[in-house]
C-alpha cells in the first residue's frame, strides 16, 4: 500500500513539475515572441519615413521633372520638410533611402567596403563589368586608388603636366578667337579629353586621338540607358564601341610593354597611368589581376577616362557661365590673375603647380562653381547589413543615396545658397571646406585621387582666359538631368585683348 501511495505522490509531483515547466516554457516563448515582435516594431519605427509613390515608377517622374527645373534640389527639399533629413522613396524602379544630412552622408562614404558597397544602374554594371574600378572593393580597390593618387601627386608629374595643360589650353583658346561663336561645353570637352588621354597614355593631338575620342563618345552614351543588349539598342552599340576602344588602348599598352624592360620600368619615374599599372602588374602587386595583364591594364585605362569626361568640361563651362552673370566677381578674378601674371613677367620665372594653387580668389571661384554646379550630385551605395546612423535604420539590401546637392544648397550651411558668391569661402575660413559639408569630389576611400589635378586644370584655364581674352555670353540655362549641362552648350563670342593693368568690368 505504501508503494502505491509513494508512486502516486511521485507521479503527482512529476505532473505538477511538468506542468510548471510547460507553463514557464510557454511564458518564455511568449516573451521571446513579444520581444521579437517588439524588435521588429522598433526597427520598423527606425526606418526613415517617406512614400514609395506609384507602383513600379515610384516618384521617378517628379524626380526627373525637378532635374529639368532651375532648382533640382526641390525634390529633396519637399520630402525633407515632410519626413525629415533622411527619407525613403522609389526612383528609377528602385526603393531607396535618400540622405540630405551631411553627417549621415559622411558615415555612408567612410564605411565603404565594410558596410556599404557601390550600387549603380544596371546599364553601368553591364557596360563596365563586375570588376570595374567603380565596383571593386577591399584591398584591390584601395591599392589601385593609392597607386593612381600617388602618381597624380608626384613631383615629376606636377612639373610636366603643368606645361602640358598650359600648352593645350593656350592652343584651344587661340582657336576660339577665330570662331564667330564658341560653344564652351563642346570645346572644353575636346580640350580636357586631350589632356586626360595624354595623362593616361601619353597620346598627343593627331589621328589616333580623334579616333579614340569618337569611340569613347559612342561608348559612354550607354552609361545611362535601358539595359537591353539586343542589336540596335543603345547598350549594344556602346558595348561594341567599348570593344573597339579596348582594342585601340591595348595596342598602346602592348607597345609600351614591349618597348620598356622591367628594370627600366622600376628605376625610371612613371610618365603616365599605363606605366603605373604595368609596373604594378610586373611587380605582382595586383593579386586579383587576371591572367591577361594587357586586358586588365587596358580596361582600367578606359574606365579612368570616364570621370574626367564630364567633370572638368562641365566645371569650366559653368565657371564661364557664373562669371558672365557676375561682373564683380569677374573683375576681381581678372585683378588677381593680372597681378600674378605681372609678377611672373618681372621675375622671368616659369609658372608652376604651386603658383596656380596659391591663387586664393581663383580657388574661391572654383569652389563656388563646384558647390553650385553639383556635377556629381550624390553617390549610390547598398547596405550589406542593417545599419543605424543617427537614429535612422538602413535595412540590409536597401540602397542609400547620399545627396551632395542637398548639403551644398542647404540654407542652414550656406547663406543664400543659390547666389554665386566666391567671397563666402573667405568668410567661412575653410570651416565648411571639408569632407562633411563640401563633397564635390566624393569622400572616404573613393575620394577622387585627381582632385588637385582637376583644380590645377581649371585654374590654368581661367588664368589664360581672363588675362588674354574677353567674351560675351549668350543667354543659356543649366539642365541637371540626366547629367549637369547647359541647354544651348553656352554660346559665347571671344576676342583677344592686351592687358597690362586692371580692366574695367564692362569689357566683359
Residues of each annotated binding site for heme? 448
Torsion of CA 135, 140, 145, 147, to 10 degrees: -150
Q: Would you say 439 and 433 are in contact if contact means Cβ atoms under 8 Å apart?
A: no
Which one, of 96, 48, 91, 55, lies nearest residue 72 by Cα? Answer: 91
Which residues are annotated binding-site positions?
448
Cα gap 472→457, rounded to integer Å: 23
The SS3 of residue 351 is coil
Read off the C-alpha cell for 490.
553656352
Residue-wise burial string across 184-208, b where 16 or more C-beta atoms lie within 10 A, e elsewhere:
bbebbbebbbbbbbbbbbebeeeee
End-to-end CA distance of the chain: 120
Cα gap 428→190, rounded to integer Å: 35
Q: Would you say 223 and 127 are in contact if contact means Cβ atoms under 8 Å apart?
A: yes
The pairing of strands 182-183 and 491-496 is antiparallel
Q: What are phi and psi of 499, to 5 degrees?
A: -120, 125
Angle at 442 between CA 424 and CA 418, to 5 degrees: 35
Cα gap 169→144, rounded to integer Å: 29
Amino acid at each position: 500500500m505504501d508503494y502505491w501511495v509513494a508512486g502516486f505522490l511521485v507521479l503527482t509531483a512529476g505532473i505538477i513539475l511538468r506542468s510548471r515547466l510547460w507553463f514557464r516554457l510557454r511564458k518564455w516563448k511568449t516573451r521571446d515572441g513579444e520581444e521579437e515582435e517588439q524588435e521588429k516594431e522598433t526597427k520598423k519605427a527606425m526606418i526613415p519615413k517617406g512614400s514609395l509613390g506609384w507602383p513600379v515608377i515610384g516618384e521617378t517622374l517628379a524626380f526627373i521633372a525637378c532635374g529639368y527645373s532651375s532648382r533640382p534640389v526641390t525634390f529633396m527639399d519637399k520630402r525633407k520638410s515632410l519626413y525629415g533629413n533622411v527619407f525613403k522613396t522609389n526612383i528609377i524602379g528602385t526603393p531607396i533611402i535618400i540622405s540630405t544630412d551631411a553627417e549621415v552622408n559622411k558615415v555612408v562614404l567612410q564605411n565603404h567596403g565594410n558596410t556599404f558597397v557601390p550600387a549603380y544602374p544596371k546599364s553601368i554594371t553591364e557596360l563596365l563589368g563586375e570588376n570595374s574600378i567603380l565596383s571593386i572593393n577591399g584591398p584591390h580597390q584601395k591599392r589601385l586608388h593609392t597607386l593612381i593618387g600617388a602618381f597624380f601627386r608626384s613631383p615629376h608629374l606636377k612639373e610636366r603636366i603643368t606645361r602640358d595643360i598650359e600648352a593645350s589650353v593656350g592652343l584651344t583658346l587661340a582657336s576660339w578667337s577665330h570662331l564667330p561663336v564658341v560653344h564652351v561645353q563642346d570645346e572644353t570637352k575636346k580640350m580636357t579629353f586631350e589632356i586626360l588621354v595624354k595623362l593616361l597614355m601619353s597620346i598627343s593631338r593627331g589621328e589616333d586621338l580623334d579616333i579614340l575620342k569618337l569611340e569613347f563618345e559612342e561608348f559612354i552614351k550607354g552609361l545611362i540607358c535601358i539595359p537591353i543588349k539586343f542589336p540596335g539598342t543603345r547598350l549594344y552599340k556602346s558595348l561594341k564601341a567599348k570593344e573597339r576602344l579596348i582594342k585601340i588602348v591595348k595596342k598602346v599598352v602592348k607597345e609600351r610593354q614591349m618597348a620598356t624592360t622591367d628594370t627600366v620600368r622600376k628605376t625610371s619615374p612613371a610618365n603616365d597611368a599605363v606605366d603605373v599599372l604595368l609596373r604594378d602588374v610586373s611587380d605582382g602587386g595586383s593579386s586579383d589581376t587576371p591572367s591577361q595583364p594587357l586586358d586588365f591594364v587596358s580596361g582600367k585605362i578606359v574606365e579612368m577616362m570616364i570621370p574626367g569626361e564630364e567633370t572638368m568640361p562641365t566645371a569650366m563651362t559653368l565657371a564661364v557661365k557664373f562669371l558672365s552673370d557676375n561682373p564683380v566677381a569677374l573683375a576681381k578674378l581678372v585683378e588677381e590673375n593680372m597681378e600674378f601674371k605681372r609678377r611672373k613677367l618681372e621675375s622671368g620665372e616659369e609658372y608652376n603647380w604651386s603658383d596656380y594653387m596659391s591663387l586664393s580668389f581663383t580657388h574661391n571661384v572654383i569652389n563656388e562653381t563646384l558647390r553650385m554646379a553639383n556635377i556629381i550630385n550624390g553617390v549610390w551605395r547598398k547596405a550589406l547589413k542593417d545599419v543605424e546612423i543617427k537614429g535612422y535604420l538602413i535595412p540590409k539590401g536597401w540602397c542609400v543615396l547620399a545627396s551632395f546637392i542637398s548639403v551644398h544648397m542647404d540654407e542652414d550651411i550656406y547663406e543664400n545658397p543659390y547666389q554665386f558668391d566666391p567671397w563666402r569661402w573667405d568668410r567661412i575660413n575653410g570651416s565648411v571646406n571639408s569632407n562633411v559639408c563640401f563633397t564635390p569630389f566624393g569622400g572616404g576611400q573613393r575620394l577622387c585621387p585627381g582632385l588637385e589635378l582637376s583644380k590645377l586644370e581649371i585654374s590654368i584655364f581661367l588664368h589664360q582666359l581672363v588675362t588674354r581674352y574677353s567674351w560675351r555670353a549668350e543667354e543659356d540655362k543649366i539642365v541637371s538631368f540626366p547629367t549637369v549641362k547647359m541647354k544651348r552648350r553656352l554660346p559665347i563670342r571671344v576676342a583677344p585683348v592686351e592687358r597690362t593693368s586692371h580692366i574695367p568690368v564692362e569689357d566683359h
